[in-house]
């Protein structure tokens, strides 16, 4: 590779005027260093050979070796699912499909997975959550609506029964949920309340005479809304409602025991007719996910047996006496929601899969598409333009970073399901909240950038960006609104911060804060703040320290602000006054977690060449994030002006280096063309397949 500075713009001594420097930079926007070294003493640039051809300079990436390292334990199961649907063209979702037909197809897709392919998702979720999430990613490759449909049936309806119920519920329902005899819903959200679950208004009043609970919707605001599987296919619903015990409050008043979960039949098992006392309406056509039948449920004095209370954390005896191993409503509520984190884990996992598909399409098209070039020279690939590298290469690096972060999350979740460790459960709850929020928000923005980067052809529905964007968009809202989830992360960080000063211990994920209270909060070293050498900037210790320093400063400063404002505004007012600061803190912490997992994955890679490629991608991920928030580092003098400039130049250079192996990096995701489906994202003959789509 031709000799050049890290930014690719090292000027000759002759190019001392501003005009000449600008001209050289403009030329570098069009050209990249050639694979052949320039003559000694020269600093010339030669045109790129051919637009889409891979250059051999720099690192040598082996897609097969990368794939082998990225593959999880359950790649064979994913391949089995892919092959099953590829062999059944009648089960593949066409580009254009009316809502009613999409819903019917989605149910047939799920039925075929269970009854024809022999996959038992609930058993997988109970025995090996990692394999279950791998299946979810695979079916999402066929149709994101199918992944959500499967998630409603197994993660939510099935998960609520096995996680919130006891042995009697598992014996009665498990097998029939698993084989789809008992299709069901998860009825938590109401018209007036989504995120604030403790304020739900649906009631479940115990009748000691008949030994039943009476489920009621007291007003229109309590109508269960956006309930997946409710409009058409669900036969049962796990209904979250306020447990009311008559005569057990003060002065003989009814006692509200807080939110509990109840199994409520909503349709006849034989005729599928809606049962008496239940009103179901269709929420209608949506922006995306129209293969999922979302409905609204109203209950009018619907009676269910006492045994239908999912009673793991609280029970009602025949005489109406309430018992629980947890002493307060808040403890019971926290335990209940804590058992439902699998949904957030699944969304974070699936969102990474969506990001991989979008990035793969955009990168392959950018390598294929040729536009402009030097005078009388062949046109060059659009991915040879620095501006295009700036759009897509950090995004490709993020897909790799998220891949390793989600693997860590699934491992922690699987460990949690095998133990009763309360600290681990709390850790997974916050970690899943943060990663779900951060990854889904990033992916939503990335899909739009990928669409834009593919120009007019990215706007064709057949090339998938519109469908991916619309189907994925709601990932930012369900299973916890992203803004609300980030506040949970911030709240936990503050709790850990307080415990540190009280002499307590820190949970595993946050243990770096132990050092941050001293090392990171001291004044930045004026010497290291000016170091700008490439070896220093690409040192993972510098990168991780920078991420953690930022988090620690944000934590320390927001704690001080909250303490100040609480004196005049109270707790709620102070929190609201500092809300944007708190959200930034949470995002900063999650970025630190992601980078730590990426660095660990690089170190653990056994193949030297693959490790070098991953190190390059990891460096781009880390330094791009630092550059994106360079103002924070400059404000506290953690990074001097010369160092900031060096980081900027190095990000550009690393983006170019990643561009050289971009094809191998996306191929390593090992996503079959039948799952990519976008003609412009095919591994070969993309234009030919695209023209065939429109009839040529």
Known catalytic residues are 479
Give the residue ranges of DSSP H helices in 419-478.
Answer: 422-453, 465-473
User: In whole angstroms, what is the distance from residue 119 CA to residue 556 CA?
Assistant: 49
Cβ(165)–Cβ(182) below 8 Å = no
User: In whole angstroms, what is the distance from residue 202 CA to residue 300 CA?
Assistant: 10
Kind of pairing, strands 203-207 and 236-245? parallel
> Quick one: DSSP state of residue 506?
-
Start-to-end Cα distance in the chain: 42
User: In whole angstroms, what is the distance from residue 277 CA to residue 298 CA?
Assistant: 8
Residue 567 C-alpha from the chain's centroid: 37
Classify residue 30 as exposed, middle or buried by CB count within 10 Å of its CB (0-12, 13-18, 19+). Answer: middle
Rounded (10°) angle between helices 386-418 and 18-30: 60
- For residue 261, the tally of other CB atoms under 10 A from its CB is 29
DSSP E strands in 246-354: the ranges are 255-265, 278-282, 294-299, 302-305, 315-316, 322-323
Cβ(329)–Cβ(257) below 8 Å = yes
Cβ(317)–Cβ(107) below 8 Å = no
Cβ(336)–Cβ(261) below 8 Å = yes
Phi-psi group of 273: left, alpha or beta (phi > 0 → left; psi -120 to 50 → alpha; rest → beta) = beta
- Cβ neighbours of residue 432 under 8 Å, at least 6 residues apart? 341, 344, 345, 348, 409, 413
The dihedral over CA atoms of 293, 294, 296, 302, expressed in degrees to the nearest 10, equals 60
Cβ(87)–Cβ(147) below 8 Å = no
Helix (H) or strand (E) run with residue 208 in it: none
The tokens 């109508």 sit on which residue?
223
Order of strands across the sheet with 278-282? 224-228, 294-299, 278-282
In Å, how far are 183, 234, 325, 349 from 128, measured between CA atoms?
22, 26, 28, 15
User: In whole angstroms, what is the distance from residue 640 CA to residue 646 CA?
Assistant: 10
Kind of pairing, strands 302-305 and 212-216? antiparallel
What is the three-class DSSP state of 228?
strand
User: In whole angstroms, what is the distance from residue 187 CA to residue 229 CA?
Assistant: 10
Classify residue 282 as exposed, middle or buried by CB count within 10 Å of its CB (0-12, 13-18, 19+). Answer: middle
Cβ(228)–Cβ(156) below 8 Å = yes
Nearest to 157 by CA among 123, 124, 185: 185
The dihedral over CA atoms of 627, 629, 630, 631, expressed in degrees to the nearest 10, equals 160
């Amino acid at each position: 590779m031709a000799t050049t500075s890290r930014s690719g713009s090292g000027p000759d001594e002759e190019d001392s005027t501003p005009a000449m420097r600008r001209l050289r930079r403009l030329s570098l926007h069009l050209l990249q260093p050639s694979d052949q070294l320039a003559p000694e003493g020269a600093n010339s640039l030669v045109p790129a050979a051919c637009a889409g051809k891979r250059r051999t300079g720099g690192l040598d990436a082996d897609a097969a070796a990368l794939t082998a390292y990225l593959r999880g334990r359950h790649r064979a199961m994913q391949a089995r699912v892919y092959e099953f649907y590829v062999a059944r063209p009648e089960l593949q979702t066409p580009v254009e499909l009316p809502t009613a037909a999409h819903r019917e197809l989605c149910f047939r897709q799920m039925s075929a997975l269970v009854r024809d392919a022999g996959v038992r998702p609930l058993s997988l979720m109970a025995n090996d959550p990692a394999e279950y999430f791998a299946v979810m990613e695979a079916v999402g490759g066929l149709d994101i609506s199918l992944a959500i449909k499967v998630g409603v049936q197994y993660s939510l309806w099935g998960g609520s029964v096995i996680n919130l119920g006891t042995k009697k519920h598992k014996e009665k329902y498990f097998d029939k949920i698993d084989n789809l005899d008992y299709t069901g819903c998860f009825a938590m959200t109401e018209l007036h309340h989504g995120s604030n679950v403790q304020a739900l208004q649906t009631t479940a009043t115990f009748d000691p005479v008949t030994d039943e609970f009476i489920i009621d919707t007291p007003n229109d605001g309590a109508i269960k809304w956006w309930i997946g599987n409710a409009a058409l296919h669900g036969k049962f619903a796990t209904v979250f409602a306020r447990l009311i015990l008559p005569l057990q409050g003060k002065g003989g008043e009814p006692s509200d025991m807080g939110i509990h979960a109840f199994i409520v039949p909503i349709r006849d098992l034989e005729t599928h007719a809606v049962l008496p006392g239940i009103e179901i309406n269709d929420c209608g056509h949506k922006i995306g996910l129209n293969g999922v039948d979302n409905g609204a449920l109203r209950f009018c004095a619907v009676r269910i047996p006492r045994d239908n209370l999912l009673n793991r954390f609280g029970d009602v005896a025949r005489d109406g006496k309430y018992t629980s191993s947890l002493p307060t409503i808040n403890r019971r509520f926290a335990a209940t929601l804590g058992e439902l984190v699998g949904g957030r884990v699944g969304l974070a996992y699936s969102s990474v899969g969506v990001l991989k598909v979008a990035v793969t399409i955009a990168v392959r098209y950018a390598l294929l598409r040729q536009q402009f070039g030097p005078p009388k020279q062949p046109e060059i690939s659009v991915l040879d333009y620095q501006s295009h590298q700036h759009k897509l290469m950090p995004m490709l690096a993020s897909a790799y970073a998220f891949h390793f972060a989600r693997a860590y999350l699934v491992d922690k979740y699987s460990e949690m399901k095998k133990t009763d460790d309360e600290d681990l459960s709390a850790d997974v709850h916050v970690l899943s909240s943060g990663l779900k929020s951060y990854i889904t928000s990033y992916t939503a923005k990335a899909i739009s950038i990928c669409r834009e980067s593919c120009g007019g052809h990215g706007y064709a529905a057949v090339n998938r960006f519109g469908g991916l964007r619309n189907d994925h968009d709601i990932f930012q809202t369900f299973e916890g609104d992203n803004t609300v989830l980030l506040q949970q992360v911030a709240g936990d960080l503050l709790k850990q911060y307080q415990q540190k000063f009280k002499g307590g211990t820190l949970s595993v994920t946050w243990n770096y804060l132990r050092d941050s209270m001293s090392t990171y909060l001291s004044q930045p070293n004026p010497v290291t703040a000016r170091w700008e050498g490439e070896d220093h900037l690409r040192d993972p210790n510098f990168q991780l320290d920078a991420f953690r320093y930022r988090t620690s400063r944000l934590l320390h400063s927001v704690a001080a602000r909250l303490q100040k404002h609480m004196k005049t505004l109270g707790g709620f007012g102070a929190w609201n006054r500092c809300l944007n600061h708190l959200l930034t803190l949470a995002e900063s912490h999650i970025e630190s977690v992601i980078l730590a997992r990426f660095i660990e994955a690089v170190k653990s890679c056994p193949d030297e060449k693959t490790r070098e490629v991953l190190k390059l991608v990891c460096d781009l991920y880390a330094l791009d994030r630092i550059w994106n928030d360079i103002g924070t580092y400059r404000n506290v003098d953690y990074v001097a002006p010369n160092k900031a400039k060096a980081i900027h130049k190095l990000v550009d250079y690393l983006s170019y280096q990643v561009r050289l192996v971009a094809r191998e990096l996306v191929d390593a995701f090992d996503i079959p063309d039948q799952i990519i489906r976008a003609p412009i994202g095919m591994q070969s003959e993309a234009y030919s397949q695209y023209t065939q789509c429109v009839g040529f």
